[in-house]
Structure 1
Amino acid sequence: MWNIYFQDALFAAIAAIGFASISKPPKRAYIYCALTAAAGHSFRLMLTNGSTMHMHITIATLLAAFLIGTIAVFLSPLAKTPAETYLFPALLPMIPGIYAYKAFGGLAMCILRNGHDIFNSYFYLFATNAITCTSIILCMVIGATTPIFIFKKTSFQATR
């Protein structure tokens, strides 16, 4: 069981390092990107697929993004880089690509199919996936930026 969480953390860390490398942060920030992404993504997986908790993905994403933001804020003085340097790359592996793909597929099928019942079925697929995708992205933004405002003094220590 822990193997699943370890694999999820490992792949999230690799993805975060890849996303971070695009913006060329200091070399010391890569390890913090990896650790922050691994902790947040595996926490979300634990909340959604855990044996005791079967939380909806939007609420789990909000809590995981809050965890990522909190870790980033408290690691920023240690890393001597702004929290945003590894906060945003750590969030990118949590982008809901499958929901966006299914929403687009449902929309395309709405356009291409004839018939009222078939249209309603595909519109339902489009609407549910689009709303889920949008709410996940919104929860990521709210969850990740809230710790920056809550721990304002700590979050700006790295830039002084």
Structure 2
Amino acid sequence: MSVSLGEPVPDFTATATGDTTVTLSELKGQQVVVYFYPKASTPGCTTEGGDFRDRKEAFDAANTVILGVSRDGIRAQENFKAKQDFNFALISDKDESLCRLFDVIKLKKLYGKEHLGIERSTFLIDADGKLAREWRGVKVKGHAQEVLEAAQTLHDN
């Protein structure tokens, strides 16, 4: 089972940075951005996270929580968050339960070798817990701004 636009996102609980867990149902009443990235502390993922970090006040003003997700372990996520001064939670999805829920594991090619990995993707969940927007196969440049504008539009309606 995976998420569909306009449908409620199934509730989930995940291990996050700061020795916390994130439960989607506890965020009801707020919009939620869930962005998936391939690997902590790599150039594209660092840039993308920084773009979300630098817009966090505007996301807050649009009543929107930011959650970053990868398959990295919690220690790698903690280090990535601390080093980049991220002001939002990073989720460790080692068992790929969230990756499967959002269907972001894809066959990728790197140096001619195929492997399964996270396709950079972002999801915007509305304040009622329904999937409002999705971006798949994301290019980092300008992406966080586009997500912010979508969150602001959704919040204002």
Q: TM-score, normalised by structure 1?
A: 0.28
Q: Whose strand fraction is larger, Structure 1's or Structure 2's?
A: 2
Larger RCO, structures 1/2 (Cα 8 Å, 6+ apart) = 2
Q: Whose helix fraction is larger, Structure 1's or Structure 2's?
A: 1
